[in-house]
Structure 1
Amino acid sequence: MPVISNNAAANSAVAYLNMNSAAESAAIQKIASGSRITQASDDAAGLAISTSISSDITTLQQAATNASQATSILQTADGGAANISNILTRMKSLASESASGTVTDSSRVYIQAEFSQLSSEIDSIASGTSYSGQNLLDGTSAFATGVNVLVGSSSADSVSVTIANLSVSSLGIGSLDVSTESGATSAMSTLDTAINTVSAARATIGAQESRFNFSANSISTQTQNLQGANSAITDVDVAQEEATLSSAMVKTQAAVSAETAANQMPQYLLKLLG
């Protein structure tokens, strides 16, 4: 029944206008942001899952950086260890020369001089091979006992990095003397042990580096998979939202027209009183 005291048609038109306008605004927000979840009410469960996945992705990205840094540390340590290995090989050659009965005592003095310089150089390399202020080969850093590197999304996903002490004292060659034939003969056995020690240390470094390379590949795969899963939850379906926006725009325009018509109804009723 048409009345002039209460324009129910206009009120109804306003309600639908607000609803359609809100749907239009929501569709625009989703298209503009590229995300179908612009507020928690859009998908509360999806938002919770997405937040958790995003946290894991961020942690994995940092883990990738951690693995890369660990690889750099190991490569630096291996470079120093390789130089020490070369020096030990030269020292063994000098000891072999001095151990020969064809060498005179006066010549052994010069051999010992080079031998001593090379021994000092080993300590220089051990203390000079460093990364971010930490000496890697002289046993003074935490790497001598093991440093845990996070390579996953939880604290349990870690790899311990250990680098052996390759200083002269640790290798047991500090007291070697090749200025005599007997001393040189004895030194050769000790140097063999030292060379084996350095070789074992390099093998350990290489094994750890290999593990970090595989960890980096695994981290990359996990990150890609999680990003894909998160995208499936949060990314907007542009075609669908464009259709929703188009529909909402039409309904909004229709509601405006209806509101205009509803507001004119009381004027028509008043003409009946004329």
Structure 2
Amino acid sequence: MAVISTNLAANSAVRYLNANSADQTASLSKLASGSRIVSAADDASGLAISTRISSDVTALTQAATNASHGTSILQTADGGASNISDMLQRMKALASQSASGTVTDSERTYIQAEFAQLVEEIDGIAQSTRYNGESLLDGTSDFSTGMVVVVGSDATSDTITVTIDALTSTELGVDASDISTQAGATTAIAAIDAAIDSVSSARANIGALESRFEFRSNTIATSIENLEAANSAIKDVDVAAESANLASIKVKTQAAVAAAAQANSMPQELLKLLQ
């Protein structure tokens, strides 16, 4: 039915024009942002999953840093323990020298002077081997009882407990050793051997923890890579497909504009019937 009071054709054309224009805007937003999910309405469940994955990736990235810090702590502790082990070797040599009947008591006094300095230096190294202001080898930090390092997205279960044995002269049992006499030197040798074993055990524990952190770091890196790939599949826009979609929408928008123009001219054409 031909009417001039209500332009039904124009209304229909404008409705399609608005819809196509909205689709074009949405497509441009996706291409500009690089994301398939610009708003929750685009994919509500996908957005929820993507947000959770992004959260896990963020936590794992920090966990990788935590693992790196844990490795650095252990390397610092091992460096100090290595120096203590070297000093114990020297102390054993001095004790063996003093225990020999080839030296006199006056010479043993000189040997004892060096020995005593090395005992003090063991404590000095134990106290000065620090990380972030905390002494690692004197038993005063939390590392002596067990420091928990978070190495995953779950702070409860994804942890590694770092425990570092105290390596002071008292803990090693050499603080009371005196090699100024032949008998004292003989006794000191046994104490030093036990101390060397204790340091070796502590270093073995440190090395085992370092190895664990290394493997966990590799696992974290793999997890981050896989999660980011999964998140990309959910959230990232397919540029080729969206570009093709945008081209199609542009044609529809242009057609709607042309149709609206034609619809607006229809009443003028109907007026010719009155002439």
TM bin, normalised by shorter chain, reads over 0.9
Match of 1:101 in 2: 101
Query: Unaligned 5+ residue runs, structure 2?
Result: none
> What pairs up with 1:1-274 in 2 under 5 angstroms?
1-155=1-155, 156-274=157-275
CA–CA distance in structure 1, aligned partners of residues 114 and 220 of structure 2: 48
Aligned-residue offset at 1:228: 0.5
> CA deviation digits over 1:4-26, x for unaligned, max 9?
11111101111100111111111
Deviation at 1:2, TM superposition (A): 1.5
Once residues 233 and 166 of structure 1 are traced to their aligned partners in structure 2, the CA distance between those partners, rounded to angstroms, is 53
Q: Within 2, Cα distance between the matches of 1:239 and 1:172?
A: 73
Normalised by the length of structure 1, the TM-score is: 0.99
Measure the CA separation in 2 of the matches of 1:122 and 1:9: 95
The whole-number CA distance in structure 1 between the counterparts of 2:126 and 2:3 is 98
Letter aligned with residue 32 of structure 1: A
Once the two structures are superposed, residues 203-248 of structure 1 have per-residue CA deviations (whole angstroms, 9 ceiling, x without a partner) of 0000000000000000011110101100110111111111110011
Distance in 1 (alpha carbons) for counterparts of 2:91 and 2:8: 104
Aligned to 1:149, the other structure's residue is in SS state strand
Letter in 1 for 2:223: Q
Shift of 1:271: 2.0
What's the CA shift string for 1:134-165, capped at 9, x where partnerless?
Answer: 10000000000001111111021100000000
User: Per the alignment, in what secondary structure is the counterpart of residue 211 of structure 1?
Assistant: helix
The whole-number CA distance in structure 1 between the counterparts of 2:240 and 2:17 is 24
Q: 1:4 aligns to what SS in structure 2?
A: coil
Gap regions ≥5 residues in structure 1: none
- Secondary structure in 2 aligned to 1:40? coil
Note the alpha carbon deviations across 1:70-92, whole angstroms, 9 max, x for none: 00000000000000000001001
**What is the RMSD computed on CA atoms of the aligned residues?**
0.6
Give the AA of the match of 2:132. S
Cα deviation code 1:35-89 (max 9, x no counterpart): 1111111111110110011110110000000000000000000000000000001
Matches of 1:2 and 1:239, distance apart in 2: 45
Percent identity, aligned pairs only?
A: 64
- In structure 2, C-alpha distance between the alignment counterparts of 1:259 and 1:2, rounded to whole Å: 17
Deviation at 1:270, TM superposition (A): 1.7
- Deviation of residue 112 (structure 1)? 0.4
User: In the aligned structure 2, how far is the partner of 1:270 from the partner of 1:254?
Assistant: 25
Deviation, structure 1 residue 269: 1.3
Quick one: distance in 2 between partners of 1:4 and 1:240? 43
Matched letter for residue 100 of structure 1: S
Summarize deviations over 1:97-140 as a string: whole Å, max 9, x none: 00001100110111000001111111110000000011000000
SS at match of 2:41: helix
Which residue type is aligned with residue 75 of structure 1?
A: Q
Tell me, what secondary structure is at the counterpart of 2:149?
A: strand
